[in-house]
Amino acid sequence: MSTSTRAGPATAGVLLTLVMAMTMVSGGKIGSMIGRLRAFTIGCVIYGLGSLTTALAPNLPVLVLGWSVLEGIGAALILPAIVALVASNYPAAERPRAYGLVMGAGAIAIAVGPLIGGLATTYVSWRWVFAGEVVLVAGILLLARRIADAPAEAPVRFDLVGALLAGAGLGLSVFSVLRSADWGWVASRPGCSSPSRCTSRCRWA
């Protein structure tokens, strides 16, 4: 497998994090405008389409579109909505337990997900991992009808300029952290004067 082939999925993973960071604030605002349950449902649909696109991707650009762009936008709508939906579906006394269960489920997914993905990739195909996400999203959409919605706020104008500035600022901050292992924080190593000239043998300190 060539270096560029191995770098493709890693690049898509980095872009997924960037897209989520750049659109999370806007996703939360959209949820407050149209209703959290609607935002959650739309986010699940977009995420499911992204997973399906990734599972069927014939090349790297399509994989990036599905995994990085569509799944990132979907997650940016889903995650803020979950916080508000938990608050609207549980009384105040039960909310800490509900949030704990949500965070616990996320921690379990982070721990178990790579194991399942590794087994599927080793013995079947990585495409089945994303196909499985499509099935999970379909099940969530069926159960979402039981969720009580958090009402939308009074109609307000969406601040497009503010959303673009927030997205750019968050995206650049996350990008700098993701690239810090290669570019460093203060000074470069000898012979590595710029990020563009930095190679695996010459990384920034």
The CATH number covering residue 114 comes to: 1.20.1250.20
The pLDDT of 37-45, averaged and rounded, is 94
Mean pLDDT of 15-44: 89
Residue 138 or residue 151, greater confidence: 138
Is the pLDDT at 37 greater than 60? The verdict is yes
Q: How many domains does the chain have?
A: 1
> Of 4-18, 42-56, 98-112, which gets the smallest average pLDDT?
4-18
Give the pLDDT confidence of 140-167 residue by residue, as tens digits: 999 988 888 876 666 677 878 878 888 8
**Mean pLDDT within 193-199:** 51
pLDDT at residue number 126:
87
pLDDT band at 205 (very low <50, low <70, confident <90, very high): very low
| Non-local CB neighbours of 67 within 8 Å, separated by 6+ positions | 12, 13, 16, 50, 53, 54, 57, 130
With a CB cutoff of 8 Å and minimum separation 6, the contacts of 19 are: 68, 69, 72, 73, 76
Looking at residue 106, its pLDDT comes to: 85
pLDDT of the residue at 44: 96
Q: Residue 134: pLDDT band by 50, 70, 90 thresholds?
A: very high
Crossing angle for the helix pair 36-55 and 127-143, to the nearest 10 degrees = 160
Q: List b or e across 21-33, with b for residues whose CB sees 16 or more CB atoms inside 10 angstroms.
A: bbbbbbbbbbbbb
Residue 84 lies in a domain: yes
Q: Specify if 137 maps to a domain.
A: yes
Domain span at residue 94?
3-158
Q: Report if residue 61 sits inside a domain.
A: yes
Structural domain includes residue 170:
no
168 domain residue, yes or no = no
Query: Which range is least confidently modeled, 67-76, 108-117, 190-199?
Result: 190-199
- As a whole number, mean pLDDT of residues 120-147 equals 90
Q: Does any domain span residue 196?
A: no
Most confidently predicted of 6-15, 52-61, 193-202: 52-61
The distance from CA 195 to its chain's CA centroid, rounded to whole angstroms, is 26
- Is residue 55 assigned to a domain? yes
Confidence grade of residue 57 (pLDDT, cut at 50, 70, 90): very high
Mean pLDDT of 103-122: 85
Within a domain: 182: no
Q: Is the pLDDT of residue 27 over 70?
A: yes
